[in-house]
Amino acid sequence: MTDIDKVFAGSIPKIYDTLMVPLIFQAYAVRMAELVAGFSPRSVLETAAGSGVVTRALAPRLDAGARYVVTDLNQPMLDYAAARQGPDSRIEWRQADALALPFDDASFDVVCCQFGAMFFSDRVAGYAEARRVLAPGGRLVFSVWDRIEENVFADDVTNAVATVFPHDPPRFLARTPHGYHDIARIRDDLSQVGFADVSIETREEISRAASAKDAATAYCQGTPLRNEIEARDAGLLQAATDRAAQAIASRHGTGAVAGKIQAHMIVAAK
């Protein structure tokens, strides 16, 4: 993972939320909200909250007296999430690094993180921090994407953009979002910090977009893949997006498009 893999700024948060969230994140956010709410937590910490898709799904399911702290490393994403949420006295918005949480030991019943662990520079440290702030019997609930070959549009986009930069293909999607998918490795990382009771559900969903162009724009301009493309040649951002759209349309049609997505949903008990 490179430094630009973690930069969600400029126009990325809005494109991410309006195109990428409904494309691949919404269905998993609903499932995560179900899992977390099922534990009837009195206090929840969300890390790597992004544009707030889990927050919007989970907040209505929590008790009126629950404490919900929502954090992200990127302030622009956190600001966008807070603006989308609306007033809620139970929610505290706070910029925080999941690898160095500014909270006391045993502060939360649940720590949840949707598709953020792949971005941790030290995942074991991130799991250790989550376990530290969990109360006895608390749960860490998180999700990671399965390998890129199980996620059709991400694979299509990666292969298409590589044809624009054949000598230095951008590999953000394969390297980072889809680079931490091995279940045995995930279990081992969790066991290193003391999580012994771990369940993993591999869940397939369908990704849908109004058009191949929307799907391509979501990936090429609403994620740090944009940073990789622009680092090579900012003038080719639209050409790369168009090439990705052509690839998706050739496989999935010129109207509304649909493709498989797959992720792992993990629950680890303290």
The per-residue pLDDT for 80 is: 87
The per-residue pLDDT for 11 is: 56
Other Cβ atoms closer than 10 A to 186: 21
Please, what are the averages of pLDDT over each run of 10 residues along the chain (270 residues)?
A: 47 77 94 97 97 96 97 90 91 96 98 96 97 98 98 98 97 96 98 97 97 95 92 96 98 95 98
> CA 115 to CA 17: how far, in whole Å?
14
Residue 95 phi, psi (nearest 5)? -70, 130
The per-residue pLDDT for 86 is: 84
Helix (H, G, I), strand (E, B) or coil at 123: helix
Could you give all domains of the chain from N- to C-terminal order, each with its CATH number? 3-269 (3.40.50.150)
Nearest of 109, 152, 156 to residue 134 by alpha carbon? 109
Instruction: Tell me the pTM.
Output: 0.92
β 91-95/67-72 pair status: parallel
Q: The tokens of 19 are what? A: 């195109």
β 43-46/67-72 pair status: parallel
The per-residue pLDDT for 12 is: 66
Q: Are 215 and 248 in contact (CB under 8 A)?
A: yes
Residue range 130-174, pLDDT digits in tens: 999 999 999 999 999 999 999 999 999 999 999 999 999 999 999
> CA 119 to CA 175: how far, in whole Å?
10
Residue range 47-75, pLDDT digits in tens: 999 989 999 999 999 999 999 999 999 88
Chain-centroid distance, C-alpha 154? 14
> CA 71 to CA 50: how far, in whole Å?
8
